[in-house]
Amino acid sequence: MKFIHQLITLPKLFLFAGFCCVLSTNAASQSGKFVDSQRLFFEEFKQLCGRSFDGKSTFPSNKEDSFYGKKLVMEVRDCSSREIKVPFSVGEDRSRTWILSINKGRLLFKHDHRHLDGTPDDLTMYGGYADGKGGQYSQSFPADDETKIMVPKGKTNVWHLTIDINNNEFIYYLERHNKPRFKAVFKLTD
């Protein structure tokens, strides 16, 4: 009888061990370990390296917006195993570079703003870490603590980066207070 009780208890033990493993994996992904989906996104994005893409601002769509009607260009370059730099120009303004990197075992997205002479702008290197909920083609980056101090109005910012393989587009989308703030769409054709 004792042997039968052990046979019944053994599957419950495996089930419990599996459940604990899942909990442990989820906790690890939130505590700073590099999540597979973040690595997959980084590698997908890296495949765009060496190419330049034209885009346009699709939100907001009013003439008062500084991006309205201007040609947007993103150049995916300077790619390494840990960092991808994407100079982003708005018309003739080439002061911006997006940086996607692996930092502290997580995917980090930052905005590097520079003056014409190459010196950093007062407002630079804002962004955040991937939230761990994304996938191979899309990641979201809530504002990190540094950004919340630097840009108090942007403390609820969440940047969404999407490689839309169905429409052959790259989408940069910013939300603030869970509402659209800016959206740019780039055609993934050279």
| Cα–Cα distance list, 13 to 1, 25, 27 (Å) | 18, 18, 21
∠ CA 99-100-106, nearest 5°, is: 135
Least-confidence region, from 11-20, 98-107, 168-177: 11-20
What CA–CA distance (Å, rounded) separates 35 from 45?
Answer: 16
Residue type, 5: H
Indicate the class that CATH gives domain 35-187: mainly beta
Secondary structure tally for the chain: helices H, strands E: 3, 10
The first and second tokens of residue 14, run together, are 């495996």
Helix (H) or strand (E) holding 174: strand 169-176
Q: Residue 178: what pLDDT? A: 97
Q: Which residue did the predictor score with more confidence, 153 or 34?
A: 153
- Give Dmax over CA atoms of the chain in angstroms: 83
| Residue pLDDT, tens place only, 35-57 | 799 999 999 999 999 999 999 99
Q: How far apart are the first and last CA of the chain?
A: 72
From 149, 161, 165, 158, select the one nearest 181 (Cα to Cα).
Answer: 158
pTM of the entire predicted model? 0.81
Q: Residue 34: what pLDDT? A: 60
